[in-house]
Structure 1
């Protein structure tokens, strides 16, 4: 019974991380569309601002779930990005402003690339734990 719970736990974490990866890739695509003029700044800011809070909450809940399950190393690896999200939220820098987006587009793209790299790393770490749960007795 414990193995089945463990497999379902890691499958849920795996899917949650896939959703976070999707958010990062989607933001990168939108930023590249802005630079080649396929999307206007107002639409870009609306689309990205709609994803910010769900992304932050999803990442924090996923990390708390991992921490409560007793996997301290993966939980600790998530702390820097959570701290960055909390800092941006407290400083009111989490939402994009369509009047100044062209000045911030390079910085925001770099942030999205770093988030993508973090989520990819965690994706493969969670994949390892998922496979470990599948093959364990």
Structure 2
């Protein structure tokens, strides 16, 4: 049981790092430290790994029977899926300045939801360790 929570914890931390990296690339672009092509290519390299890690996290919760955490992580997977289906998951080099505010808000929303998942997984991990000690 603790293995599931440790795996979930590290997956969520990896997701947070990927999204923070994307936010840093957007901030560098906004402050003109990096050109649009470099910023777009850096962001686009980590978008699919982020989507895959998020899906793995949801599958982990589903297979381990943690339904509440699964239900909390599924909306982000669905959101990522709809972005992918609409071909809006990659940042366009020519439109990045027009979409900068929206892209930053999208990533900030992801950060907030991932932080909630992180604290909930920490809570459940500690609770499961304490309940195993009582047995």
Q: TM-score range by the shorter chain?
A: over 0.9
Query: What corresponds to 2:3 in structure 1?
Result: 8
Q: Aligned partners of 1:131, 1:47: CA distance in 2, in Å?
A: 36
Segments ≥4 residues shifted beyond 3 Å: none
Where do 5+ consecutive residues of structure 2 fail to align?
A: none
Where do 5+ consecutive residues of structure 1 fail to align?
A: 1-5
Which of 118, 121, 125 in structure 2 is aligned with 1:130? 125
Q: Aligned partners of 1:51, 1:104: CA distance in 2, in Å?
A: 18
Q: How large is the Cα RMSD of the aligned pairs?
A: 0.8
Deviation at 1:79, TM superposition (A): 1.7
Query: What corresponds to 2:87 in structure 1?
Result: 92
Q: Does 1:105 align with 2:100?
A: yes
Q: Aligned partners of 2:58, 2:34: CA distance in 1, in Å?
A: 33
Which deviations, in whole Å up to 9, do the C-alpha atoms of 1:46-83 show, x marking residues without a partner? 11100011100110011111111101111011121111
Which of 26, 31, 37 in structure 2 is aligned with 1:31? 26
Query: What corresponds to 1:117 in structure 2?
Result: 112
Higher relative contact order (CA 8 A, sep 6+): 1
* Aligned residues between the structures: 132
Q: Aligned partners of 2:71, 2:128: CA distance in 1, in Å?
A: 20
Query: What corresponds to 1:3 in structure 2?
Result: none
